[in-house]
Amino acid sequence: MLDLPTLIKARQDFSQRAYGLQRPAAASHLDCAGALRRCAESPNDVYCWVDVVMAAIEGGLRSGSTPFALAQAITNRAREDAARKLPNPLAHAGPPAPDRQMPVGSMDQYGPEIAT
């Protein structure tokens, strides 16, 4: 089983060795955006998606979160998502409503809870 705090701590150690301590958290969103662009180009490449996760973890670390706090937040978010009542995706057929067809790269395409 994956020990998430240990994985996050290893990423923190790698990041500090590779980029130094002074790399600002504000730059991490650029890393995430670049990884997401690569995912859009190669959506079946699992390593693109892993890059998104690692860039997000690095951003959290650089914002001052500890590996344990990030692991706890990931766990809490997974529990919240599991408890959500979602509509049955098979209950309707056809394309999404025109107001939900956003351009690629727009955060609005993922819904209001992520876009805000």
What is the domain partition of the chain in residue ranges? 24-79
Q: Is-contact 28 55, C-beta < 8 A? A: yes
Among 71, 68, 67, 57, CA closest to 25: 57
Does residue 23 have a pLDDT over 90? no
pLDDT digits (tens, 9 = 90+) for 62-99: 888 899 999 999 999 999 999 988 887 777 666 665 65
Higher pLDDT, 103 or 94: 94
Does residue 102 have a pLDDT over 60? no
Mean pLDDT for all residues in the chain: 79
Among 27, 24, 25, 40, CA closest to 107: 40
Question: Got the DSSP string for 57-79?
Answer: HHHHHHTT--HHHHHHHHHHHHH
Question: What pLDDT does 52 receive?
Answer: 93
Quick one: average pLDDT of 43-48? 93
Q: Left, alpha or beta for 88 (phi > 0: left; psi -120 to 50: alpha)?
A: beta
> Structure pTM?
0.65
Question: What pLDDT does 87 receive?
Answer: 81
Distance (Å, rounded) from C-alpha 84 to C-alpha 77? 11
Q: How far is CA 79 from CA 66, 74, 75, 115, in A?
A: 20, 9, 6, 20
Say what percent of the chain tops pLDDT 90: 33
